[in-house]
Structure 1
Amino acid sequence: MSRPANLMELREEEIRAHYGAAAALLEGFDHAPRIGAAEVAPAPVERSPGIATGRRFRSTTPGLVTRSTARPDGVRLAERIEAVGGDDPLVSPMEATVLHGLRRAIAIALAVGEGFAGQTGLSELKKANLAGSLGADKKVAFSELLAAEALVVLGVFANATAFLLAPHASEMSVEVGSPEEVLTDNALLALNGALWELDQVIAVQASEEARLVACVLAFAEALMEKVSLRAQGAARLDAFTGADYRVEADDFTISGFTASRKARGTTLTMQFKKPHEVVGNHIAKYQAMKLAKMLMAYDFERKLNPFAELGGFIFTFMGDGAPGTGKTTLIQMMAGLISGYCENAGYAFRYQNFGIDNIDSYQGKSGQNAKAFVNNVLDPSVIGFGTIDDIDQIAGKRGDRQSSAGQQEVTAVFMEAFAGANTVVRGNCTFGMFSNYPENVDDALRQRAGARFLVDGPQTREDYIDILALLMGKRHDIPLGDHELYAAQEIKRAVATSFEGHSKPHEEGLRVVFDRVAGEIGALDTIAKLGTYLKAIQEADHRFTGRAIKNITDAVKVRAMDFELPDEWMENPDLFLFKSYDEKSAMISDLRQPITIDMVIQEINRYADSEFRYADKSDEVAIAKMVREFGLTEEAKRRYLEGKG
């Protein structure tokens, strides 16, 4: 596969040239913190002469004699890491791994910083400044470039550290908070501040070797996030963000301030389902099958999917239906398809589910769990599929006093991740939200689901025969009878019938609006008439906002892509998957279909039907609850009066 033209190879000799400087930083340097404050850790136990002290540090506990983790003789990070293992005078393999990873990360960061300085003219400005010949007209540019270089070096250091140590991570997690000593005066001072703060984190958090990697990874990821946010308002970073750097020896690609992770997939233990084993749910099954193949069009070099650029990619979807209608089966089918395609192409596939067990009573932990889930699925180095089952129980409605703080945190994270100001849809992953009671999901969060999959289970006589035969298995002698098994599940015929069924609304409330508008203005055959219909829907349901219109138009674009990528393209990756981005984009464009008025009407009705259905259910639930409360009140009054009499 060809590489993009803006990919710059970071040569090994350029990195190794900075090994000496990196090792010196790990050995020791002086740093007086400007922003951060030294942590406090327990005093070390006195030991016999000749045995090193300060091997273990624990978080402050009331009643213990403590001391500051700041060293009077400077920051000695290598010594701090070697002290984590306890009394063993030899460096353990894990300690050595962390030290080598940090040295490598620092060297890579310094090499990228050096290249950035050369590209932007900062190197010449530094020389002029040292010689005292820097003109007044260049001082602003000099200051801005120094700050930019500091951010570049910090970002690459954090990114490389997380990338290099990720394979050694365990299930253990550590909370480190947001880094404070993020300095941008110059690159060296920036590294000093970051390493000083990492020294503090290890001193307090790494009470044992098992926690060491977790501490370093948590700090690196937090630093990457902080630097990325700071970089959004910084100047003169185009030379860095406009090019990708690659370190061949580590299989490490640097794309601006985007985190790079090892392309590690998840080992799935779920029971996969074949498409014919999903009985009914024709539109949901068809769209899930299409989406599985759409994901495979993702270009790992461009880090973009042609479907995301051309339109028609489903980034988020909502699957709703009554209990037992097949939501879990749909997930098993889609995950199985993607897993098989990825295995055939040699791609890493990552599936994750966010469940109720991720809601934590510890303040802020639920939000962190949700953010970690989102980031793992978004990872641009893998094909990702994230599911949120029973989202009505996991994400709380804003303003609902019965929702826990953890549920409110999760709602905020998902809203920002799925359609926030910083949301970038690359097309390598999709998120599915599933619920038996979607009317209980926060309106704004539910509307962030770009597509709606109505999972209504078997509907026809043929569906019920098929599902009975499927679940009965083969260990019986009961004849099938006059029936062509699974013929009703033939997807294209079933989907065409299902889409045509949405030419008229299904929900009574929407049907009234549709008939009234059609009676007043005639057939909905122009943009103006469709807009009139949309306005009438909004007047009937105030929650039908501009985001609803966007979701409808996205669904129409999906219909324009109403084709399945040929199976042979998945079976033989050279035919499509391994082609360049431009070739894949052209092949997809050739298959695209024109948008018709029928498509638009059907998608308006499909989306609006779901909103009216949610509203009706929500109102009915609220009414039933009030009726029950009134009944309880009346019964309480009756018993009270009887007792008083």
Structure 2
Amino acid sequence: MSRTSDQMELREEDIRKHYPAAAALLLGFDHTPRIGKGKDAPEVERSAGIGTRRRFRTTTPGLVTRSTARPEGVQLIARIEAADGDDPLVSPAQASVMNGLRRALAIALALAETYGAQVGLAELKRANLEGALPPDRKTEFAELLSAEALITLHVFANATAFLLSPHLGEVSVEVGEVEEVLTDNGQLALHGALWELDQDISAFAGDDARLVATVCAFAEQVMEKVALRAQNAARLEPFTGAAWKVEADDFQIRGFTPARAAKGSVLTMTFKKPHEVVGNHIAKYQALRLSKMLMAYDFERHLNPFAELGGFIFTFMGDGAPGTGKTTLIQMMAGLLKGYCDNAGYPFRYQNFGIDNIDSYQGKSGQNAKAFVQGVLDPNVIGFGTIDDIDQIAGKRGDRQSSAGQQEVTAVFMEAFAGANTVVRGNCTFGMFSNFPENVDDALRQRAGARFLVDGPQTREDYIDILHLLMGRKHDIPLGDHELYAAQEIRRAVARSFESHNRPHEEGLIGVYERVEAEIGRLDTIAKLGTYLKAIQEADPRFTGRAIKNITDAVKVRAMDFELPDEWMEEPDLFLFKDYETKAGMIEELRQPITVEMVVQEINRYADSEFRYADKSDEVAIANMVRDMQRTEAAKRRYLEGKNG
């Protein structure tokens, strides 16, 4: 995968010339903390009963607001070497951290120098040293220095996290919020960051595993805080509007977006083949097609032709009763993607966000959700993220029974799936699964662009197939008069499933459909279809503009109602390794025209799901109220019996 056309190379010689300066920073420097407070142990009393002397507080005007902290010697190399106790030898992990920090510092200094040359900061620095800085350029000079500091800090933290990520283990460390973020200039910014890193290593890194985890956690916190500062900072356009790549490390710098090492996750799940997913025809068909769609992603352009042409499913929701095959569907799709990626040599990353990611620590659940989303969104991998039992994980807003952690997760997912900053590249998809979708927040549920009804086996043939499948081969019972798995032939089954949506299924929607059809006749024009949509909205106010977008997206998916040939997956040179324009042209040739029947079926399919959720939600609420009333009545009766007795 070669470098993208919009990237500039950060040359190796420009990086290595900063190695001496980076090494000097690691060896030692003095820094007086301005904002941060050291994590030293409390001072020990000199003798019993006599406390330490109170700190002198000056009454001189002006001095009271000046920092009284003493300059501290920061010697990171010595601190890292002491992380494992008394071992006199440097361990491989310690050496990796030292080399990673030196490399990250050099990259940050090189990019800051490049930025300074682009915006004229280098000339302003020289003029300032000579005392010849024009007064009318002092504001510009200060803004450029602040921008340089933010860029230096973020690139340093970004490179550190990227370079050390292969050395991370299972240990995690919470270093807390970074405080010593200084934006006077790049050099002082690094001094502040390295001082705080020194404090964190001293406090948290008791062994090699915790050392790497501490440095990476610190880098993540720095990136997060600097990115927030950068939102309101001036003169950052030359940095945010360009991209750089360090070829030796395959490290990409794109503004204040964290880079991620293109590593796939090791999957240990049991994969299922398509014929082992019995029933669930539409869900299975869409999962199969989505798996192949993802493989069309172009790693050079960082874009998928399906995302540009329409028909790409970024988020979907699978709902159904317990035991209908949601987990099997996940296993099938993950297995397909893993096989395709292994064959093409692409990194594949599967992640599941489960209930164990909800944390009682305030803010941690949101951080976990954000890390999950960012890991799957990584443009350098093919990603598949699942959120199983989302009704238990993401809380409904306004629901007093939802914990703060669940509310945080809901907010993160809503922003990630359809927020102002959401970018759909087409390299990943998110699947939300639930037995009780009516308990999912309405706005979050509507962010699912596609709906997979996972209803399990339905026909006689389905039940014969699933019985034969689960019985295995260690028996002598004859099959009988049945063509095994013929009913699972996808295209035929899907055609039947789609045709069944020519009319609605849910009772509430059937009434709306029949009334509209009686008033205006067959739904065969845009105006009539719009009238039907308005009638649905009058029956269910939650049927908003986002619902219309989801329906039109589903229609576009139907227009792409073709399956990329298996040969294209098996022999990557036929399609996967083609350039972006060629792939887009090959897909365009397979596109089918949009018909009225497609639109009606997708309206009914989506509206059916919303009515189904609403009916279930209302029924659950009514049942709960009835149960509460019965309890109250029983308690009252028992109380009166006891009082009279």
Q: Distance in 2 between matches of 1:461 and 1:64?
A: 84
Equivalent position of 1:6 in the other structure: 6
Q: 1:466 to 1:258 in 2, by over 3 A?
A: same
Q: What do residues 110-145 of structure 1 show as CA deviations (whole Å, max 9, x unaligned)?
A: 111112222233223333333344434544443333
Which amino acid in structure 2 is aligned with residue 527 of structure 1? I
SS at match of 1:74: strand
Equivalent position of 1:55 in the other structure: none
Higher alpha-carbon deviation: 124-133 or 310-319:
124-133
Equivalent position of 1:192 in the other structure: 191
Deviation at 1:541?
Answer: 0.9
Equivalent position of 2:444 in the other structure: 445
Deviation at 1:42?
Answer: 5.4
Q: Distance in 2 between matches of 1:433 and 1:628?
A: 30
Question: Identity of paired residues, percent?
Answer: 79
Higher alpha-carbon deviation: 1-10 or 596-605:
1-10
1:84 pairs with 2:52: no
Which amino acid in structure 1 is aligned with residue 247 of structure 2? E
Q: Distance in 2 between matches of 1:562 and 1:401?
A: 43
Equivalent position of 1:54 in the other structure: none
SS at match of 2:154: helix
Deviation at 1:151?
Answer: 2.1
SS at match of 2:84: coil
Q: Distance in 1 between matches of 2:245 and 2:282?
A: 42
Deviation at 1:585?
Answer: 2.2
Higher alpha-carbon deviation: 337-346 or 469-478:
469-478
Whether contact under 8 Å (1:559, 1:599) holds in the other structure is yes
Deviation at 1:43?
Answer: 6.4
Equivalent position of 2:481 in the other structure: 482
SS at match of 1:619: helix
Which amino acid in structure 1 is aligned with residue 457 of structure 2? P
Q: 1:121 to 1:595 in 2, by over 3 A?
A: farther
Equivalent position of 2:63 in the other structure: none
Q: 1:482 to 1:64 in 2, by over 3 A?
A: farther
Higher alpha-carbon deviation: 177-186 or 455-464:
177-186
Equivalent position of 1:59 in the other structure: none
Q: Distance in 1 between matches of 2:105 and 2:427?
A: 30
Deviation at 1:71?
Answer: 6.8
1:113 pairs with 2:103: no
Which amino acid in structure 1 is aligned with residue 145 of structure 2? L
Q: Distance in 1 between matches of 2:355 and 2:144?
A: 47
Whether contact under 8 Å (2:162, 2:261) holds in the other structure is yes
Which amino acid in structure 2 is aligned with residue 241 of structure 1? T
SS at match of 2:317: strand
Q: Distance in 1 between matches of 2:297 and 2:41?
A: 48
SS at match of 1:8: strand
Equivalent position of 2:170 in the other structure: 171
Whether contact under 8 Å (1:2, 1:580) holds in the other structure is no
Q: 1:182 to 1:348 in 2, by over 3 A?
A: same
Deviation at 1:37?
Answer: 2.9
SS at match of 1:426: coil
Within-5 A mapping of 1:95-106? 95-106=94-105
Higher alpha-carbon deviation: 579-588 or 331-340:
579-588
SS at match of 1:83: helix
Equivalent position of 2:290 in the other structure: 291
Q: Distance in 2 between matches of 1:77 and 1:173?
A: 21
Equivalent position of 2:382 in the other structure: 383
Q: Distance in 1 between matches of 2:588 and 2:138?
A: 50
Deviation at 1:94?
Answer: 1.9
Within-5 A mapping of 1:194-593? 194-593=193-592
Q: What do residues 215-234 of structure 1 show as CA deviations (whole Å, max 9, x unaligned)?
A: 11001111112222333333
SS at match of 1:79: helix
Q: Distance in 2 between matches of 1:576 and 1:241?
A: 33
Whether contact under 8 Å (2:33, 2:71) holds in the other structure is no
TM normalised by structure 2 equals 0.93
Deviation at 1:38?
Answer: 2.9
What's the Cα RMSD here? 2.4
Q: What do residues 227-268 of structure 1 show as CA deviations (whole Å, max 9, x unaligned)?
A: 223333333333323333222222222222221122111111
Higher alpha-carbon deviation: 499-508 or 408-417:
408-417
Equivalent position of 2:635 in the other structure: 636
Higher alpha-carbon deviation: 550-559 or 580-589:
580-589
SS at match of 1:250: coil
Deviation at 1:633?
Answer: 1.4
Q: Distance in 1 between matches of 2:136 and 2:457?
A: 74
Q: Distance in 2 between matches of 1:526 and 1:64?
A: 86
Q: Distance in 2 between matches of 1:581 and 1:64?
A: 70
Deviation at 1:35?
Answer: 3.0
Q: Distance in 2 between matches of 1:402 and 1:5?
A: 51
Higher alpha-carbon deviation: 628-637 or 517-526:
517-526
Whether contact under 8 Å (1:299, 1:305) holds in the other structure is yes
Whether contact under 8 Å (1:242, 1:256) holds in the other structure is yes
TM normalised by structure 1 equals 0.93
Q: 1:88 to 1:43 in 2, by over 3 A?
A: farther
Equivalent position of 1:155 in the other structure: 154
1:24 pairs with 2:24: yes
SS at match of 1:430: strand
Q: What do residues 155-195 of structure 1 show as CA deviations (whole Å, max 9, x unaligned)?
A: 21111100110011111111122323222222212212221
SS at match of 1:385: strand
Whether contact under 8 Å (2:165, 2:261) holds in the other structure is yes
Whether contact under 8 Å (1:266, 1:349) holds in the other structure is yes
Q: 1:585 to 1:131 in 2, by over 3 A?
A: farther
Aligned length: 628
SS at match of 2:258: coil
Deviation at 1:333?
Answer: 0.3
Whether contact under 8 Å (1:84, 1:208) holds in the other structure is yes
Deviation at 1:357?
Answer: 1.9
1:617 pairs with 2:616: yes
Q: Distance in 2 between matches of 1:225 and 1:14?
A: 27
Deviation at 1:505?
Answer: 0.9
Q: 1:584 to 1:152 in 2, by over 3 A?
A: farther
Higher alpha-carbon deviation: 363-372 or 554-563:
363-372
SS at match of 2:331: helix
Q: 1:238 to 1:167 in 2, by over 3 A?
A: same
Structure 1 unaligned spans of 5+: 47-62
Deviation at 1:199?
Answer: 1.8
Higher alpha-carbon deviation: 253-262 or 608-617:
253-262
Higher alpha-carbon deviation: 449-458 or 542-551:
542-551
Q: Distance in 1 between matches of 2:523 and 2:498?
A: 17
SS at match of 2:108: helix
Deviation at 1:522?
Answer: 2.0
Q: What do residues 303-350 of structure 1 show as CA deviations (whole Å, max 9, x unaligned)?
A: 222222222111111100011111111001000000000110111111
Deviation at 1:414?
Answer: 1.6
Q: Distance in 2 between matches of 1:228 and 1:72?
A: 28
Q: What do residues 409-446 of structure 1 show as CA deviations (whole Å, max 9, x unaligned)?
A: 22222222222222222221111111111111111111
SS at match of 2:627: helix
Structure 2 unaligned spans of 5+: 56-68
Which amino acid in structure 2 is aligned with residue 34 of structure 1? R
Higher alpha-carbon deviation: 179-188 or 123-132:
123-132
Higher alpha-carbon deviation: 585-594 or 562-571:
585-594
Which amino acid in structure 1 is aligned with residue 97 of structure 2? V
Q: 1:441 to 1:64 in 2, by over 3 A?
A: farther
Higher alpha-carbon deviation: 111-120 or 363-372:
363-372
Whether contact under 8 Å (1:41, 1:203) holds in the other structure is no
Which amino acid in structure 1 is aligned with residue 600 of structure 2? I
Which amino acid in structure 1 is aligned with residue 241 of structure 2? G
Q: What do residues 422-477 of structure 1 show as CA deviations (whole Å, max 9, x unaligned)?
A: 22222211111111111111111111111100001111122122212222222223
Deviation at 1:2?
Answer: 4.6
Q: Distance in 1 between matches of 2:284 and 2:111?
A: 47
Q: Distance in 2 between matches of 1:10 and 1:511?
A: 62
